[in-house]
Structure 1
Amino acid sequence: MQATKNRRPVQILLVEDSPTDRLVTVSALEHSRVNHVLHVVDNGVDAMAFLRRQGHFEGAPRPDLILLDLNLPKMDGREVLSQLKGDPILRFIPVVVLTTSSAEEDIIRAYGEHANSYITKPVDFASFSAALEMLGKYWFEVVTRPPASAFESVAAPVAPVRRRGTGSQPLHVLLIEDSETDALLVRESLAGSPSTQFRLTHTSRLADAERLIADGATVDVVLTDLGLPDSRGLATYRRIQAAARGVPVIVLTSSDDEAMGLAALREGAHDYLLKSEHTGRALERAVRYAIDRKAIQNQLLQSQRFEAIGQLAGGVAHDFNNLLTIVQANASLIEVCDDLDDAVACAREICGAAERGALLTRQLLAFSRTQALEAHPIDLNDVVVSTSQMLRRIIGAVKVELRLGSELPPILGDAGMIEQVLVNLAVNARDAMPGGGKLTLATRYERLTPAAAQRLDAEAYAGEFLVLEVQDTGEGIDPGVLDRIWDPFFTTKDTGVGTGIGLTTVYGIVQQHRGWIRVQSKVEVGTSFEVYVPVSSRPMAKAPSSSAQPDRDKSAGTGRLVLVVDDERAIRTSVIRVLSASGYGVIEADSGEEALRVWEQRGDEVDLVLADLTIPEGMGGRELADRLRAIAPDVRIVFSSGYCSDSTLGELQLRRGVTFLEKPYTAAALLNIVDAACHVNTAD
């Protein structure tokens, strides 16, 4: 790359204490042929003095680029990075971190502190030149004051990430701003971008933005003022961060409220901009940088998760084998026992093991963030009461006590996920009480003011909440371990005895519900987990019962014919037994191809097709449905599967419990959905 003619040299500050590494870096700069002036300091204290023009650095130029070693005397390079990115004047200067460490945690931390690139030593000349090329004209025109560039090409900043906004798919920016003037400035700034296409959605209230995200809008970045009609201060950032989980958030502040922007940065905001500075290319730079840095973090974390799969496998195998032992032992007893009561008891144990297996599957899906949140107004006390009955079977000798608040308002959530929170916390408590003890499940209402929320917890915010408390009298948590309990795969249990994802799953679910968790523990005394979930303003709707009605008409399905399509013979057999016992006629097929042949012979008689969505070695339910609807547009179809993502449900326009039956399911759930699809009135 040749230096651009008639441009001022790029001012570069190298912060490096090793003479050898300084020489290598100087040689790499010469190799890159960048027109530059190099300034060198050998410690973090002098670096900050140079940048702030203090002491004998009073006349120092403002650098266009900083090359920063992480391991420095006097002041660590990480502290230098943190201080300069927290400085409203210095934070726009791009930083390339130079270090001998290639550990993922160091990479994540460097990008977490807003580093613009990361290069390991010894510096490879070609890699170094490529890094400078990636910074390119884009960074220097946007970041330096006045705008200037030393490079010819306009290149993508820092990360080799596939980028939107440069072709047919514009970047979707959600702006939360109650000032029409400021909103207009943002709109004009983004519309004037020469290199990036933006699509802007503007709301003036935080609640409207939360509702838009909850309704499924795909947002690439959020720009939010912290002073809104329905929320102020850090509570605004916390709420939108919880609602737009995984989406980078940039905070907009006024010049007299910059401390609030810095506080938001410390809590995880990707950037903050003064409203007086967010015109022109600076806003575009901030948006693109936030999106790219988030993508890099996600890639690194995903890589870390894959490496931990081996740790996960042992715990999952242990838990599932326990459940299979229960199923096999009780099924064998049913085969030989003569007493009806014994057979019923065995059947209940099998049902309980199946519930626990389904729970473990949901836990894994929640951990991997592939389980969809089905939010409805729910009665927290009802969830606690129903779950406590199952807990008594799971936690053995531990006594379960309920202390439920009266006349509690509903929360907006997923009852199955709240059940997971309860079970995971209860199992964790059981393991802390190997000799027995007491587990208390309590609920209450709390209204938090901004001051009370600030005193309570770093993640708390003002509002109305229901609190679910799970308290045990166990061994307690060692203070040295307490900060790590939410980490993925962290466990104090022996290898193969636990997955180490129980509390991580709890944390993720609570965040999905826009809540937080407060933990208090004393060794040899016990532990208390207090889960705060916001109150819902939506009225409670009575959920249909998933259990069969005791007075159900055994011939309710008489005259109706169901075609069951599933590649698992045992599933088809079970479904046939359940439906036949209720009067339904049933015909079966083990693939989509077989189902089409059956349809050719008896299609006119079929009232409903119950089809497995995915059949590995044949035509699945999706293709079968397309073929059948081409023949009979009014055919009624209910899909079933052990897993179906939220995006697939949306694509197929399916509703859980209405046109989609999730495995595993009970006989009652199967009959309810078939009855509804066939328009059978079981009350008759």
Structure 2
Amino acid sequence: MKRALQRQRAIEILLVEDSPTDRLVTVTAIEQSGIHHSLHVVDNGVDAMAFLRRQGRFEAAPRPDLLLLDLNMPKMDGREVLSQIKRDPLLRFIPVVVLTTSSAEEDITWAYGEHANSYITKPVDFTRFSAALETLGKYWFEVVTLPPASAFEGIVAPSAPTRRATASLEPLHVLLIEDSETDALLVRTALECSQGRQFRLSHTTRLSDAEQIIADGVAVDVVLTDLGLPDSRGVATYRRIQAAARGVPVIVLTNFDDEATGLEALREGAHDYLLKGELTGRALQRAVRYAIDRKAIQSQLLQSQRLEAVGQLAGGVAHDFNNLLTIIQANASFLESSSDPRDIAECAMEISAAAERGAMLTRQLLAFSRTQVLEANPIDLNNVVASTSQMLRRVIGDVNVELRLGSELPPILGDVGMIEQVLINLAVNARDAMPGGGRLTLGTRYERLTPSSARTLDGQAYAGEFVVLDVQDTGDGIEPGVLDQIWDPFFTTKASGVGTGIGLTTVYGIVQQHRGWIRVHSKIDDGTSFEVYLPVSSRQLTEANGAGASPASDTSTGAGKTVLVVDDERAIRASVTRVLAANGFSVIEADSGEKALRVWERRGDAIDVVLADLTIPDGMGGRELADRLRARSADVRIVFSSGYSADAMLVELQLRRGVTFLQKPYSAAQLLDIVNAACGLDSDD
């Protein structure tokens, strides 16, 4: 699909957005959609209308094929822009997608009443937004810009455009699991006689072979499976294929004497069941299409429920951040009037701990909002647990933290930051289950699972070597009826406005990215245990010594080195300057890319490293600044920084955390480490 789109002319997209952060999110989502496009950006409604009407400085502007419109903007808000567009006979056919933070029913109703083509609530979900844009691209190139009817010989019916669009779609991939060659031939014949959407059939006779096909990453649109196979029988067959092909609709095939099993599979979530003796071509095609359509409707319903839950999430986040801001403000105010060194030290520790908790919450939100890039290296889980436990003791209050670490554990292959996030989320969850205090035990151990022991242990388990992280608390426990819901987004048993409901969802996603799984044991009034199984790495720890973040430097000797700090936030520039200057560096500040370029023109030969924010508003951002600087000096050393999750940019710009990218918020030690490395101060030279 994406390759086909790229053979056409670029889609002209006009983005009307005044928020620099939201612009970056939207631009990244557009780029990830794979649509061949040309993007134009304005930050207010007046310029948007001038662009559309080709007035003033926009006289040579192209006519947009798609408009992405924020509602709340200066000069003229998006509501007026939408109304003017849809009243203008020359503009009203331009598709308009409304992007806004409001999920209020009256705003949604108004937007569609004004003939908006779509309404998307910010923050943008990358995956769904990219899918929506790709659908718009498909509509534009396969329906709107079809060749004239004369190009299609013999197709003259009024519904021809629909037929042509349908014919150009990729065939639906059906995976058939059936050991009877007669029944398999019946299914193949039924699908081949389709008069509409075409089907592509893959056939296997064993469930294990089908599981391997899916594990190999083959895209499947629907699964047809017999419930009586050589290596699996009954409802267990459905359960296994449903677990392997998560998100793919499954239709089961049964004989007349086994109809009850088909009904049981239907109750467990199968999208349909068909009796082989009544299997006609029309019935099979209808069942396949219905299963796919039903899955799409379920996805839309899930998105609707997710939007409704955004309000719950916002309440929890606001509650947590307000608590943190209260701690910071109270201690900062006290510092202004106190001269006692002990008070100063204590206040500084409280502020630092609150900042760590805020950073943790932000990472949690970013991890939940989209899939992060896994930077996998061999790591020692004991070291991660031991170092993280020091911070946890400050964060989780009146809870006694105990370590029970296994000896001589093999390394696991993982991302240190993500594993820390798993540990922190589970620990904070445990703390909330022990409001009156208690004991939190963090343990590790090695386990080797055979195929039989894996099947006995857990439905998600598989054979191999694993290091297990065991997080146990002595809290209230989890109700048996709630255990199946704890991984669901926004599900929480806490009071309204307390907690976000995404902590355990984040844990589950990270563990899956590491090819692991989690076992939960809980008993009311007797605590809960989370056992996280992580596969052992075949690589040795020595290979990762230089791959992860380096330990904080004890001292820094930046004498003779000059750093150009580019950030639009005055307080950030002041803080960075204070830390670097105290460690011997000379610092030059610039609050925009343009000023940074002017500084480079005058003093470029004296600058050793540039520390640039990626998302500078109202002008040149860090990415464009880097391109300009490299055009002047190919060997310029640049470190990027951002408060926004930069996972897409890590891939696109080939950045590495702790080497060429510094994630906000960061500590003084992290700042010094990355600047020292960029200046070559920690090398052997």
| Equivalence for 1:496 | 497
Instruction: Name the CA distance, whole Å, in 1 between partners of 2:386 and 2:468.
Output: 15
Seen in structure 2, the aligned counterparts of structure 1 residues 422 and 605 have a Cα distance that, compared at 3 Å, is: same
Q: Kindly tell me: are residues 514 and 571 of structure 1, through their superposed partners in 2, closer, same or farther at Cα, counting changes over 3 Å?
A: same
Distance 1:483 1:325 in 2: 36
Change (3 A) 1:175 1:483: closer
Partners of 2:576 and 2:315 lie apart in 1 by 33
> Matched residues in 1 for 2:570 and 2:201: separation?
52
1:325 aligns with 2:326: yes
Q: Which moved more, 1:505-514 or 1:396-405?
A: 505-514
3-state SS, counterpart of residue 506 of structure 1: helix
Q: What is the alpha-carbon distance in structure 2 between the residues aligned to residue 174 and residue 465 of structure 1?
A: 35
Question: 2:249, 2:292 within 8 Å by CA — same for their partners in 1?
Answer: no
Contact residue 408 and residue 444 of structure 1 kept, 8 A: yes
CA shift at 1:572, angstroms? 0.8
Q: How far is 1:566 from its partner?
A: 0.7
CA gap 1:198/1:646 in 2 versus in 1, 3 angstroms: farther
Deviation, 1:212, is 8.1
| Cα distance in 2 for residues equivalent to 1:564 and 1:240 | 54
2:634 counterpart of 1:633: yes
1:555-570 alignment to 2 at 5 Å?
555=558, 558-570=559-571
Q: How far apart are 1:652 and its partner, in Å?
A: 1.9
For the residue of structure 2 that corresponds to 1:577, the secondary structure is helix
Aligned equivalents of 2:514, 2:670: Cα separation in 1: 26
Structure 2 matches for 1:514-663, cutoff 5 A? Answer: 514-540=515-541, 541-542=544-545, 544-550=548-554, 552-555=555-558, 558-663=559-664
Establish whether residue 307 from structure 1 lines up as the match of residue 313 from structure 2: no
For residue 174 of structure 1, report the CA deviation from its aligned partner. Answer: 13
Q: Compared with structure 1, are the counterparts of its residues 342 and 638 closer, same or farther at alpha carbon in structure 2 (3 Å cutoff)?
A: same
Query: Which SS does the other structure have where 2:481 is aligned?
Result: helix
For normalisation by structure 1, the TM-score amounts to 0.61
Q: Secondary structure at the match of 1:308?
A: helix
Which stretch has the larger CA shift, 374-383 or 336-345? 336-345
Query: In 1, distance between residues paired with 2:447 and 2:165?
Result: 43
Shift of 1:446: 1.9
Name the SS of the counterpart of 2:619 in structure 1.
Answer: coil
Cα RMSD (Å) of the superposition? 5.1
Q: Are residues 443 and 303 of structure 1, via their aligned partners in 2, closer, same or farther at CA, if it must alter by over 3 Å?
A: same
Question: What letter corresponds to residue 548 of structure 1 in structure 2?
Answer: A
1:371 equivalenced with 2:372 (yes/no)? yes
Distance in 2 (alpha carbons) for counterparts of 1:241 and 1:619: 49
5+ residue gaps in structure 2? 1-156, 178-184, 186-190, 203-207, 275-280
Task: Please tell me whether Structure 1 or Structure 2 has the larger radius of gyration of its CA atoms.
Answer: 1
Does the 8 Å contact 1:402/1:442 carry over to 2? Answer: yes
Q: Separation in 2 of the partners of 1:465 and 1:304?
A: 36
Distance in 1 (alpha carbons) for counterparts of 2:237 and 2:681 = 49
SS of the equivalent of 2:634 reads: coil
Distance change >3 Å, CA 337–CA 425, structure 1 → 2: same
Secondary structure of the residue that 2:529 maps to in structure 1? strand
Q: Secondary structure at the match of 1:439?
A: strand
1:483 matched to 2:484? The reply is yes
Cα offset for 1:602? Answer: 2.2
CA distance in 1, matches of 2:421, 2:195: 49
- Assess if the C-alpha contact under 8 Å between 1:239 and 1:514 holds in 2: no
CA distance in 1: counterparts of 2:174 and 2:656, whole angstroms: 28
Q: How far apart, in 2, do the equivalents of 1:631 and 1:235 lie?
A: 65
Q: Which moved more, 1:338-347 or 1:395-404?
A: 338-347
Change in Cα spacing, 1:407 to 1:386, as seen in structure 2 (3 Å) is same
Partner SS state of residue 530, structure 2: strand
Change in Cα spacing, 1:211 to 1:378, as seen in structure 2 (3 Å) is farther
1:191 and 1:390 map into 2 onto residues whose CA distance is 62
Asked whether the equivalents of residues 610 and 638 of structure 2 are also in contact (C-alpha less than 8 Å), the reply is: yes
Give the AA of the match of 1:549. Answer: S
CA positional deviation for 1:206: 11
Please give the alpha-carbon distance, in whole angstroms, between the structure 2 residues aligned to 1:634 and 1:526: 57
Aligned residue identity for 1:417: M
Residues 521 and 529, structure 2, Cα contact 8 Å, conserved in 1: yes
Q: CA deviation at 1:347?
A: 2.2
Alignment partners' CA distance in 1, 2:392 and 2:213: 38
Residue 415, structure 1, aligned to residue 416, structure 2: yes
Tell me if the contact between 2:557 and 2:584 (Cα under 8 Å) persists in the aligned partners: yes
Structure 1 residue aligned with 2:678 = 677
Whether the 8 Å CA contact 1:401–1:438 is kept in 2: the answer is yes
Structure 1 Cα separation of the partners of residues 309 and 349 of structure 2: 35
Deviations 1:574-632 (A, max 9, x none): 11122222322221111112222222322333232211111232221122222333333
- Secondary structure in 2 aligned to 1:529? strand
Deviation at 1:211, TM superposition (A): 10
Give, in whole Å, the separation in 1 of the partners of 2:241 and 2:673: 38
Distance 1:457 1:243, change over 3 A: closer
Amino acid at match of 1:588: E
Change (3 A) 1:207 1:292: closer
Rounded Cα–Cα distance in structure 1 between residues aligned with 2:538 and 2:175: 24
Contact 1:176 1:205 in 2 (8 A): no
Q: Is the 8 A contact 2:454 2:461 kept in 1?
A: yes
Q: Which runs of 5+ in 1 are unaligned?
A: 1-150, 158-162, 178-184, 274-279
Q: CA deviation at 1:197?
A: 11
Paired position in structure 1 for 2:444: 443
Is 2:548–2:658's contact at 8 Å kept on the other side of the alignment? no
**Alignment CA distance shift 1:284-1:389 (3 Å):** farther
State, as a whole percentage, how many aligned pairs show the same letter: 70
Equivalent residue pairs, number: 514
Distance 1:487 1:545, change over 3 A: closer
**Which amino acid letter does the alignment assign opposite residue 562 of structure 2?**
L
- Asked whether the 8 Å contact 1:484–1:490 carries over to 2, the reply is yes
Secondary structure of 1:480's partner?
Answer: coil
Relative to 1, partners in 2 of residues 1:392 and 1:489: Cα closer, same or farther, differing over 3 Å?
Answer: same
Partner of 1:336: 337
Which string of whole-angstrom CA distances, capped at 9 and with x for unpartnered residues, describes residues 109-156 of structure 1?
Answer: xxxxxxxxxxxxxxxxxxxxxxxxxxxxxxxxxxxxxxxxxx997998
Do 1:249 and 1:269's aligned partners in 2 also have CA atoms closer than 8 Å? yes
Taking a change above 3 Å as real, the CA distance of residues 362 and 553 of structure 1, as seen in their structure-2 partners, is: closer
Check the 8 A contact 1:323/1:354 in 2, yes or no. Answer: yes
CA contact (8 A) 1:473 1:525 kept: yes
Q: Is the 8 A contact 1:176 1:209 kept in 2?
A: no
SS at match of 1:634: coil
Matched residue of 1:500: which SS?
coil
AA paired with 2:668? A
The equivalent of 2:350 in structure 1 is 349
Find the aligned partners of 2:376 and 2:282 in 1 and give their Cα distance: 39
Three-state SS of the structure 2 residue aligned to 1:446 is strand
Amino acid at match of 1:554: T
What CA distance in whole angstroms lies between the structure 1 residues aligned with 2:267 and 2:379?
34
Q: Secondary structure at the match of 2:629?
A: helix
Contact 1:376 1:413 in 2 (8 A): yes
Moved more, 338-347 or 528-537: 338-347
TM-fit CA distance, 1:172: 12
| Paired amino acid for 1:478 | E
Shift of 1:642: 0.9
Q: 1:638 to 1:462 in 2, by over 3 A?
A: same
- Do the aligned partners of 1:553 and 1:683 also contact (CA within 8 Å) in 2? no
Write out aligned runs for 1:385-404 (5 A): 385-404=386-405
Partners of 1:654 and 1:200 in 2: how far apart? 42
Secondary structure, in 3 states, of the residue corresponding to 1:538? coil
**Residue 337 of structure 2 aligns to which amino acid in structure 1?**
V
Judged with a 3 Å threshold, the aligned counterparts in structure 2 of structure 1 residues 419 and 193 are, in CA distance, closer, same or farther, namely farther
SS of 1:680's equivalent in the other structure is: coil
What corresponds to 2:360 in structure 1? 359
SS in 2 for 1:420: helix
| CA–CA separation in structure 2 for the residues paired with 1:677 and 1:264 | 59
Q: Contact 1:170–1:199 at 8 Å: present in 2 too?
A: no
User: Aligned equivalents of 1:487 and 1:409: distance in 2?
Assistant: 32
